[in-house]
Structure 1
């Protein structure tokens, strides 16, 4: 087994549990057993030796190390250090299940804390280099077409609205069939931006595949790494969300996805600040005519 110098920093910071959830589907079956144990027994993982962990997980020691590296750590030691710094108990409290007899105030606290944690977890799993690449592609795009269905469609519409207001050639179709047709007719230099929590939505996959076939640069925003849609994405931006009894992870993921869209929008606007401000002023003047 290879060991790293004590002064060498792990590849990623905290957020082990969030990263495991986001990368879970990209792991091998054996690595998923490692991930399952860590997510179910985070405190035990910190204190047990690799030999004992291997016995408990029913995998080899090498598999544990591979799993650690698959989610961005040098090895088990670095993962343990990051896991220990996560403050596991508060994390569990934030993700309390909503109970049938909870008062409205309690429900509100749990929902908002879950949303806050989704954003914090997403910050730990997002790849900054991929974000930078996405911004550069969006800046140079001849057209930006957003795709999404179900709960992802409002996010796609919001993204379209934001980028359109700063003068970028953005578009979105609300009908899945029209999305596929729109993707087929994208001009050269286009960016196709698909949003799908599961990364498995058939309608979104069809649209993204059509865009891929036309030669568009394809971006996928999803909560699961290595999902089926990623086959047709040049880059995938992965967020993190956790499921509770009355809130599926797809509901929480909306907050994370909107936050990523916000970040991309602001970054793009700042890179072309003068033209963005001018476009915003024109957009605002039009909207003012409809204000009471």
Structure 2
């Protein structure tokens, strides 16, 4: 994880005190590397306990662990790229902006990855009898793509683009299954209700959302976060889709690698079957 990216991307989830600590760290990243939690608490007019809680909220064992990650993140801080389209943009400018947007989104997605959470999510999918996928709008593309990948290696996966059909999945699910919610906002009507329902039923849930206080993530067993985009809606939808595809591809690779040779055989068998049926 890139600590600087992680701190910036989690801004919507911060309390007032956490915002003060986050802003100070982002502005004085190099200067605080030799500070103790107590010293940073004094500098931010908060407390050592608040600094430690902030560090743990980001997934670190404590402030010392955060500083180690922060030291390694200095050289990786990305440039602030303005990718909003303008009427005066010619085709060359459009191509450059789209390229930079995609590169920035993918880089930030990888820098935000929490490996422990990713590994937990992979294990849930491997051990699940059935993987149920939830997602609408641009997330539907990601959900469908992921379901097809899993099916081709013999993993039972169920997805339907109709949100009303997705709501009926709950009647068939058991604690031996796993739900994968793909929702950039984590606040999509229908998905929020499903997340609450499945949590109350004891169904393991994996969420892929932005890093914010959102209902889907709050009610999920494992959270995987994608970068927070505050661009134009037409740009944000592209970025969130790209970031979500990165995350589902990583889940797929993890599941595939778990039984490499068998999954290779299944892919070949699936390809051969499709070829024969199309003749």
Long gaps (5+) in structure 1: 1-12
Which of 76, 86, 91 is 2:79 aligned to? 91
**Counterpart-to-counterpart distance in 2, 1:37 and 1:113:** 28
Which digits, 9 at most, give the CA deviation of each residue in 1:66-125, with x for residues without a partner? 5455434726865764564235xx612x44443321112222222222222222112222
Q: TM-score, normalised by structure 1?
A: 0.78
Runs of 4+ in 1 over 6 A off after TM superposition: 53-57
Q: Which moved more, 1:170-179 or 1:210-219?
A: 210-219
Q: TM-score, normalised by structure 2?
A: 0.82
Q: Give 1:164 shift.
A: 0.8
Evaluate the alpha carbon distance shift between residue 123 and residue 164 of structure 1 in structure 2; reply closer, same or farther with a 3 A threshold.
same
Q: Indicate the residue corresponding to 1:23 in structure 2.
A: 10
| 1:231 pairs with 2:221 | no
Which of 97, 101, 104 is 1:114 aligned to? 101
Evaluate the alpha carbon distance shift between residue 173 and residue 80 of structure 1 in structure 2; reply closer, same or farther with a 3 A threshold.
closer
Evaluate the alpha carbon distance shift between residue 24 and residue 291 of structure 1 in structure 2; reply closer, same or farther with a 3 A threshold.
farther
Q: Give 1:282 shift.
A: 2.7
Evaluate the alpha carbon distance shift between residue 68 and residue 272 of structure 1 in structure 2; reply closer, same or farther with a 3 A threshold.
closer
Long gaps (5+) in structure 2: none
Contact 2:2–2:112 (Cα < 8 Å) also in 1 = no
Which digits, 9 at most, give the CA deviation of each residue in 1:128-152, with x for residues without a partner? 1111111111111110000011211
Which of 36, 55, 63 is 1:74 aligned to? 63
Q: Indicate the residue corresponding to 1:60 in structure 2.
A: 46
Evaluate the alpha carbon distance shift between residue 178 and residue 80 of structure 1 in structure 2; reply closer, same or farther with a 3 A threshold.
closer
Contact 1:144–1:192 (Cα < 8 Å) also in 2 = yes
Evaluate the alpha carbon distance shift between residue 248 and residue 269 of structure 1 in structure 2; reply closer, same or farther with a 3 A threshold.
same
| 1:14 pairs with 2:2 | yes
Q: Indicate the residue corresponding to 1:126 in structure 2.
A: 113
Q: For 1:1-292, what aligned pairs fall within 5 Å after superposition?
A: 14-16=2-4, 18-35=5-22, 42=27, 46=30, 59-60=45-46, 62=48, 67=54, 70-71=57-58, 72=60, 74=63, 81-82=71-72, 84-87=74-77, 91-92=79-80, 94-245=81-232, 247-288=234-275
Cα root mean square deviation, aligned: 3.3
> Secondary structure of 1:26's match?
coil
Contact 1:68–1:74 (Cα < 8 Å) also in 2 = yes
Evaluate the alpha carbon distance shift between residue 96 and residue 45 of structure 1 in structure 2; reply closer, same or farther with a 3 A threshold.
farther
**Counterpart-to-counterpart distance in 2, 1:117 and 1:28:** 27
- Between the two proteins, the alignment pairs up a number of residues equal to 272
